[in-house]
Amino acid sequence: MNVDNHYDAIVVGAGPAGLTAGIYLSRSKLKTLIVNEGTVGGQMVLTHEIANYPGVENISGYQLSNIMKKQALKFGCVIKSNTSITSFEIHTQLKQITLDDGVNYTADAIIFTPGGRSRTLNIMGENRLKGRGISYCATCDGDFFTDKEIVVVGGGNSALEEAVSLTKYASKVTIVHQFDQFQAFEHAVEEARNHPKINFIMESTLTEYYGDDKIESIDIKDLKTGKISNFKTDGVFIFIGYIPNTEFLKGSVEMNTSGEIVVNSDMATNVAGIFAAGDSVAKRYRQITTAVGDGTIAALATSNYIHQLKTTNKPVLTH
């Protein structure tokens, strides 16, 4: 074992869950490494403005990410970003990961916080206008569209429930759905259909976004006729599904049919010494605050696991 490359804990992912775990672990004097595939902050970085983070009136996702990163570094956490894991071994007492530079790192425990991503329409203008009128979270961004006219894309429970929720802010909500029927519970459909602020454009899909600094309009294609019409809007909320970034863990830890990591109340997986937190775990609500909470619990449970491991020199059953 290379002592220099051995850590008490490795955190995979540097979104709010991973950074929080890093802060708690390193502050507990545990040698901690965070490895991250992209930019530190995860999906949080894409949020133009955060107005519902307790204790902070207004802050950008980039600013909040940077503060969390500085806190983790201050307590001694090592962060390696813009790197990827090429192989790993987690079913032995000593865990090991290999990064794309060929360097091996070992640890007594690993917390996986790879996060996830909302399904996108993948059409022209979407990447450019994300956070500038295009949103994937009603709870995060709804109040930015007070007295505005917005569009909701999707036909499942999330789309209809969030559309109703958004009527608290928006003056008009138009649901665009590619089929002639909704894939949602009947009560959700009825609530949306009976709401005076909600309108529907069925058997249609968005084909392009327009706007400079913010979204101004969209093109909507009628799937029956092929006709494309321009539709003015102040914002678009997309609810067509969520994808956890767990493909690399398939077959290694227990996951549900949606690819979400199954954990217990201590954020422990079914593998001793392996924990998970944030948007990649099986749960209903996904917010920055819930990710932070997950990261806190995972770090405390990991710290306890490492303490018991060093005391007894035996793996501790955590799930």
Task: Write phi, then psi, for 2 (nearest 5 degrees).
Answer: -80, 110
Tokens of 164: 């109703």
Q: Which SS3 state, helix, strand or coil, does residue 86 take? A: strand
Tens digits of residue pLDDT in 99-139? 999 999 999 999 999 999 888 999 999 999 998 999 988 88
> pLDDT 10s per residue in the chain (319 long)?
566 799 999 999 999 999 999 999 999 999 999 999 988 998 888 776 787 899 998 888 889 999 999 999 999 999 999 999 999 999 999 999 999 999 999 999 999 999 998 889 999 999 999 989 999 888 889 999 999 999 999 999 889 999 999 999 999 999 999 999 999 889 999 999 999 999 999 999 999 999 999 999 999 999 999 999 999 999 999 999 889 999 999 999 999 999 999 999 999 999 999 999 999 999 988 889 999 999 999 999 999 999 999 888 766 655 5
Q: Which SS3 state, helix, strand or coil, does residue 251 take? A: coil
Tens digits of residue pLDDT in 62-76? 899 999 999 999 999
Q: Could you say which DSSP state residue 92 is in?
A: S
In the block, residue with structure tokens 């490895």: 35
How confident is the prediction for the chain on average, in pLDDT?
93
Q: How far apart are CA 64 and CA 31, in angstroms?
A: 24
Q: How far apart are CA 195 and CA 198, in angstroms?
A: 6
- For the chain, list the domains and their CATH numbers: 3-117+242-312 (3.50.50.60), 120-238 (3.50.50.60)
Q: How far apart are CA 278 and CA 272, in angstroms?
A: 19
| Residues found in the chain | 319
pTM: 0.79
Buried b (16+ CB within 10 A) or exposed e, 36-62: bbeebbbbbbbbbebeebeeeeebebb
Tens digits of residue pLDDT in 208-236? 999 999 999 999 999 999 999 999 999 99
Mind giving me the DSSP string for 271-295?
STTEEE-GGGBS-S---HHHHHHHH
Q: How far apart are CA 157 and CA 204, in angstroms?
A: 18
Is residue 291 within 8 Å of 128, Cβ to Cβ?
Answer: no
Is residue 273 within 8 Å of 314, Cβ to Cβ?
Answer: no
Residue 112 pairs with which residues in a beta bridge?
Answer: 12, 276
